[in-house]
Amino acid sequence: MRFRSGLIIAVIFAITGYSCKEKGGKYIDEGEIHYTIEYMDNTNIIPKDYMPKNLVVYFKDDKILFEIAAPFGNAGIFNLSNPKEGIYDTYLSLLTLRYTYAAEPGEIHPGFDAMKGMELHKTSRTTVICGFNCKNAEVTFPADRNKVYDIWYTEEIDVKNSNASTPFHEIGGVLMSFYFFLGPAELHFNVENIYKKEIPDKTFERRDKYVNVSREEISSFINKMLSLFIS
């Protein structure tokens, strides 16, 4: 029997709907998307109040910035894609440490080694999230092909290649409910708010004052930082 991750959550959503706010209408090409973060592992060594609570995605045409930040220690992970400028950067900060890795076009951002071997299957299932019509995909991982993760995405937000540098690069739409395995952590993201707003171009510029490191080094730093939240 195949086990579907988040089955109880899915039933609740089916009854009550997704609790979120959409401000700006469909097919917007510039704005912010806010997601809640649920830690699927309950054990941690840091109080929940100090753990990252949100993922914020800033987008403008084909430029996109993923930002996960903790409310303490200047800690955060940022993935920046700006194809026109050839920027596919990962940034990590923790206290006084600031590291960056510049990837090549088509390269998956560091930190997703635990998602290697992921298999994705698009289904005919649909739902409405935050007022947007959404499609479904199911993903499984080598460790347990019987455990199925539901991914929901919409094609009604105009972000080009929004997942090009993530493990979900096969999905052309914007993710609305999905899972990431980042280092040792399994994280579940659900859209909370969608805003149409002007995003300054400098948001998508390359950051300075970061130390350039290798892919292996920044992946190791990501694992160590997330180990603070999930033990």
Q: Residue 15 has what pLDDT?
A: 35
Could you tell me the two tokens for 10?
């899915």
Q: Residue 78 has what pLDDT?
A: 95
Angstrom distances, CA of residue 109 to CA of 15, 38, 197, 213: 36, 21, 26, 14
Q: How many CB atoms lie within 10 A of CB 96?
A: 7
> Using one digit for the tens of pLDDT, what is the confidence trace for 7-17?
444 443 433 34
Percentage above 70 pLDDT, the chain: 82
- DSSP-based three-state secondary structure for 220: helix
> Using one digit for the tens of pLDDT, what is the confidence trace for 4-51?
554 444 443 433 344 566 555 788 999 999 999 988 765 555 666 777
Angstrom distance (rounded) from CA 227 to CA 230: 5
Confidence category of residue 95, pLDDT binned at 50, 70, 90: confident
**Residues forming beta bridges with residue 87, ordered by sequence position:** 82
Report pTM. 0.85
More confident residue, 171 or 187: 171
Residues 180/183/184/186 CA torsion (nearest 10 deg): -10
Q: What class has domain 3-227?
A: mainly beta
Lowest-pLDDT range of 129-133, 184-188, 201-205: 184-188
Could you tell me the two tokens for 63?
């430029």
> Using one digit for the tens of pLDDT, what is the confidence trace for 72-85?
767 899 999 999 99
Q: Which residues of 160-197 are buried (b: 16+ CB within 10 A; e: fewer)?
A: eebbbbbbbeebebbbbbbbbbbbebbbbbbbbbbebe
Q: Residue 10 has what pLDDT?
A: 43
Q: Average pLDDT in the 153-180 region?
A: 93
